[in-house]
């Protein structure tokens, strides 16, 4: 049985941003926030997403920090398409109230 975490404290908020190109100034194509609270799930929604940022740079201006940049190893076959966009993972260490 896992220990019961405290109801508040500094925790790591995560943000997966899939940008159009590896540039932080390019538009975001995918947006997945991960809040460090119990039972949180990021969901696909039917409503048109209303994202607070248009670019990764917008998120940096708002205090997010990049913890992983996109992998840029060149594909073996440059005719293939794979995943959508380039993945940046960002964090914010913030006081979080949980429950």
72 binds other proteins per the rule CB under 8 A: no
Q: For residue 64, how many other CB atoms are within 10 A of its CB?
A: 20
Residue 13 touching other proteins (CB under 8 A):
no
- The angle formed by the CA atoms of residues 37, 68 and 88, to the nearest 5 degrees, is 80
Identify the CA nearest to 69 among candidates 82, 56, 84, 78.
56
Q: Decide: is 78 part of the binding site for other proteins (CB under 8 A).
A: yes
* Least distance to other proteins, CB of residue 82, Å: 5
In the complex, the smallest distance separating the C-beta of residue 60 from other proteins, rounded to whole angstroms, is: 19
- The vertex-62 CA angle with 21 and 28, nearest 5°, equals 25
Q: Considering the rule CB under 8 A, would residue 39 count as an interface residue with other proteins?
A: no
- The count of chain residues that interact with other proteins, using the rule CB under 8 A, is 29
In the list 13, 24, 30, 57, the residue contacting other proteins (rule: CB under 8 A) is 30
**Residue 72 near residue 21, CB atoms below 8 Å:** no
In this complex, which beta carbon is closest to other proteins, that of residue 9 or of residue 19?
19
């Amino acid at each position: 049985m896992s220990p019961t975490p405290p109801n508040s404290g500094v925790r790591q908020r995560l943000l997966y941003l899939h940008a159009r190109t590896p540039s932080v100034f390019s538009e975001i194509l995918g947006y997945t926030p991960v809040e460090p609270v119990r039972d949180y799930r990021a969901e696909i929604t039917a409503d048109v997403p209303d994202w607070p940022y248009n670019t990764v740079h917008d998120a940096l201006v708002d205090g997010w920090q990049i913890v992983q940049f996109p992998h840029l190893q060149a594909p073996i076959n440059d005719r293939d398409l794979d995943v959508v966009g380039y993945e940046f993972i960002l964090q914010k260490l913030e006081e979080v109230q949980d429950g």
